[in-house]
């Protein structure tokens, strides 16, 4: 305005505005902090043992790119149809939405994506170049499948040795059809085979296949699971009518269910116990779960406990079997003793102690013991380090014997869950890759997780979490058909819309809209570009970002210098 001379009122504009562009005012020189885009880790990614990139594949679901979403999951987990059904979804427990209304139903969306790609033969491209090394995997449960899949994607040739007649381990022999239909498992195993994993069934190492056969491999991953039931350790346990949970479920899953009496007593509080009890109900029996602590301490997934209850499974808490009672070698009842909870033990749960003189008996025709499983390590030719009943492994899944790694329930799995087995397989594959000299050690820096208070909830209206579509209880308790159903497309997209997408930019344009200097724009690829000649560093974009996908860094800091160099 200074070089323009108004000589009269009439020449003046009604509003005071500069007659020239303000672009030449390089307000960026005022800046002492600069906003930068950053990908931060969402709590669900950390919560997911398999490390699935949940915000990214949710975004693909919102864009209805279901195949890409599937590929995104497959990077971390080759079994989304399985985990979408049976995972205890710790990701949801970590969800930042929990404190706002309800966590996003991640597992239902994962299942939807798997279902959407059920007849899809198009697998993601392998991530690594072809390599000359061969790796053997013992066991085709979730840990073995996960490890074999990850190594194959990295270019290794992998052979899985499976002692049973079919692949899948506990997924096949331990989980009943009403929770995980066999065709879902078959499909995902077939996908894994299709990328080049060879599965040799009926091949028991230490049985029909000699341990020495493994010597021709460059590395071995032991993932034999925990298939041996722990004993009840009470008199009468070997009577007719007493089964272990693993035995019972295996027979059920191979089509030859054992004959059960009318009253079935299931001892234990884990998922095997619940599976056994709900299966017994489906066979028309009265099932009762006997557990030595209270409901709060049950290791089974809470939803499963609720389902069991709905279907008529009864619970006796704070009881432990003292003996199995029978006539002529056949079970007629159990003698129980009352328990009470004392101080917490090393698992953090309160230790149950017997109440003296509180013994009583219940009628029973069948007793199923499901008090925990352990690995059968008798096939190993030389002594490995152990931790309790399991194989000892280091943080990198190495056993101490060079080239031999172990994971899943046989080694580390803290809670015997499918997803933790998948994680161990994936992480062990990275270690094997490193061991074979192909992969640099990761720096192991702790991820920078978005905290709930950093989500700008102003942008998110309260929305109810979708509920699991399920078969009616009346129908479900008399059939082994799958109880829970898959979300409809509309439900899945709506549920994905609830995701805050913590730390992952969704190109929502909030930063661009709020920038008071119009210093943010989109380039041809649609990515944001900050014009640092005009950005004053006010930080409004960072404060407004709904999901903390931006941050401010001091000018002159290492991050800024690196960025300037890169540009």
Q: Which two tokens stand for residue 184?
A: 């879902």
Candidate list 296, 518, 529, 543; residue touching another protein; CB under 8 A: 518
CA torsion sign, 550 to 555 to 558 to 563? positive
Candidate list 3, 21, 259, 437; residue touching another protein; CB under 8 A: 21
The nearer residue to another protein, 2 or 212, going by C-beta atoms, is 2
Q: How far is CA 180 from CA 159, 172, 229, 248, 460, in A?
A: 25, 9, 21, 17, 34
CB–CB of 55/503 below 8 Å? yes
Cα of 37 vs its chain's centroid, Å? 28
Candidate list 17, 122, 383, 566; residue touching another protein; CB under 8 A: 17
Span of 17-25, 171-179, 306-314, 356-364 interacting with another protein by CB under 8 A: 17-25
User: What minimum distance in Å lies between the beta carbon of 508 and another protein?
Assistant: 16
**Is there binding between residue 523 and another protein (CB under 8 A)?**
no
| Strand boundaries in 93-173, DSSP class E | 134-138, 157-161
**Is there binding between residue 22 and another protein (CB under 8 A)?**
yes
The nearer residue to another protein, 22 or 347, going by C-beta atoms, is 22
Span of 13-21, 194-202, 430-438, 442-450 interacting with another protein by CB under 8 A: 13-21
Q: Which residue has the tokens 């709060």?
A: 296
Q: Which residue has the tokens 């043992």?
A: 49
Burial of residue 516, with CB atoms counted within 10 A of its CB: 0-12 exposed, 13-18 middle, 19 or more buried: exposed
User: What minimum distance in Å lies between the beta carbon of 375 and another protein?
Assistant: 59
Q: Quote the Cα angle for 277-281-283, to 5°.
A: 115
The nearer residue to another protein, 1 or 201, going by C-beta atoms, is 1
Candidate list 12, 355, 385, 543; residue touching another protein; CB under 8 A: 12
339 strand-pairing partners: 354
User: What minimum distance in Å lies between the beta carbon of 25 and another protein?
Assistant: 8
The nearer residue to another protein, 18 or 378, going by C-beta atoms, is 18
Q: Which two tokens stand for residue 536?
A: 């004053």
Q: How far apart are CA 502 and CA 460, in angstroms?
A: 12
The nearer residue to another protein, 23 or 32, going by C-beta atoms, is 23
**Is there binding between residue 14 and another protein (CB under 8 A)?**
yes
User: What minimum distance in Å lies between the beta carbon of 463 and another protein?
Assistant: 15
Residues in the chain, total: 567
User: What minimum distance in Å lies between the beta carbon of 516 and another protein?
Assistant: 10
**Is there binding between residue 443 and another protein (CB under 8 A)?**
no
**Is there binding between residue 513 and another protein (CB under 8 A)?**
no
Residues of 58-77 as b/e, b for ≥16 C-beta within 10 angstroms? bbbbbeeebebbbbbbbbbb
**Is there binding between residue 18 and another protein (CB under 8 A)?**
yes
**Cα–Cα nearest to 337, from 348, 327, 352, 347:** 352
**Is there binding between residue 543 and another protein (CB under 8 A)?**
no
Using CB under 8 A as the binding criterion, the count of chain residues that bind another protein stands at: 17
Candidate list 16, 122, 564, 567; residue touching another protein; CB under 8 A: 16
Contacts to another protein by CB under 8 A: 1, 6, 8-9, 12-18, 20-23, 25, 518
């Amino acid at each position: 305005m200074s070089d323009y001379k108004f000589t009269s009122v009439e020449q003046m504009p009604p509003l005071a505005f500069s007659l020239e562009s303000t672009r030449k005012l390089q307000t960026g020189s005022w800046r002492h902090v600069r906003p930068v885009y950053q990908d931060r880790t969402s709590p669900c990614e950390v919560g997911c043992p398999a490390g699935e990139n949940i915000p990214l594949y949710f975004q693909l679901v919102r864009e209805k790119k279901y195949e890409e979403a599937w590929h995104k999951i497959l990077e971390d987990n080759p079994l989304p149809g399985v985990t979408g059904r049976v995972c205890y979804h710790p990701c949801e427990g970590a969800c930042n939405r929990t404190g706002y209304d309800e966590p996003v139903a991640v597992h239902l969306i994962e299942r939807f994506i798997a279902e959407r790609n059920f007849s899809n033969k198009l697998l993601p491209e392998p991530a690594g170049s072809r390599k000359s090394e061969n790796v053997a995997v013992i066991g085709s449960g979730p840990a073995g499948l996960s490890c074999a899949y990850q190594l194959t994607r990295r270019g290794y040739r992998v052979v899985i040795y499976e002692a049973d007649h079919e692949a899948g381990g506990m997924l096949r022999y331990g989980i009943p059809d009403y929770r995980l239909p066999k065709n879902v498992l078959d499909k995902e195993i077939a996908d894994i085979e299709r990328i080049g994993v060879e599965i040799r069934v009926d091949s028991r190492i230490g049985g029909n296949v000699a341990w020495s056969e493994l010597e021709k491999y460059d590395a071995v991953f032991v993932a034999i699971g925990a298939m041996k039931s722990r004993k009840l350790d009470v008199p009468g346990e070997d009577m007719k009518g007493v089964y272990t949970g693993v035995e019972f479920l295996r027979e059920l899953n191979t089509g030859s269910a054992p004959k059960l009496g009318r009253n079935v007593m299931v001892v234990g509080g884990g998922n095997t116990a619940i599976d056994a009890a709900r299966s017994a109900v489906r066979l028309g029996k009265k099932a009762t779960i006997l557990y030595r602590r209270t409901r709060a301490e049950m290791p089974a997934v809470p939803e499963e406990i609720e389902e069991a209850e709905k279907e008529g499974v009864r619970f006796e808490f704070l009881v432990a079997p003292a003996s199995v009672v029978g006539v002529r070698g056949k079970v007629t009842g159990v003698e129980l003793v009352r328990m009470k909870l004392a101080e917490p033990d090393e698992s953090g749960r309160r230790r149950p102690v017997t109440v003296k003189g509180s013994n009583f008996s219940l009628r029973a025709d069948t007793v199923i013991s499901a008090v925990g499983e352990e690995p059968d390590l008798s096939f190993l030719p030389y002594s490995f380090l152990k931790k309790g009943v399991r194989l000892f492994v280091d943080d990198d899944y190495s056993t101490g014997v060079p080239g031999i790694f172990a994971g899943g329930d046989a080694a580390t799995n803290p809670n015997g869950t499918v997803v933790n087995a998948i994680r161990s397989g994936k992480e062990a594959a990275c270690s094997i890759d490193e061991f074979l000299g192909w992969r640099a050690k990761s720096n192991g820096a702790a991820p920078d997780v978005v905290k709930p208070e950093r989500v700008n909830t102003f942008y998110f209206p309260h929305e109810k979490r979708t509920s699991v579509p399920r078969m009616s209880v009346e129908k479900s308790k008399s059939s082994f058909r799958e109880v829970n159903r898959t979300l409809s497309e509309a439900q899945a997209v709506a549920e994905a819309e609830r995701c805050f997408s913590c730390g992952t930019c969704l190109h929502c344009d909030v930063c661009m809209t709020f920038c008071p200097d119009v210093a943010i724009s989109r380039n041809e690829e649609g990515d944001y570009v900050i014009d640092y000649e005009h950005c004053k560093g006010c930080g409004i974009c960072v404060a407004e970002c709904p999901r903390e996908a931006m941050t401010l860094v001091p000018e002159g800091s290492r991050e800024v210098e690196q960025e300037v160099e890169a540009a």
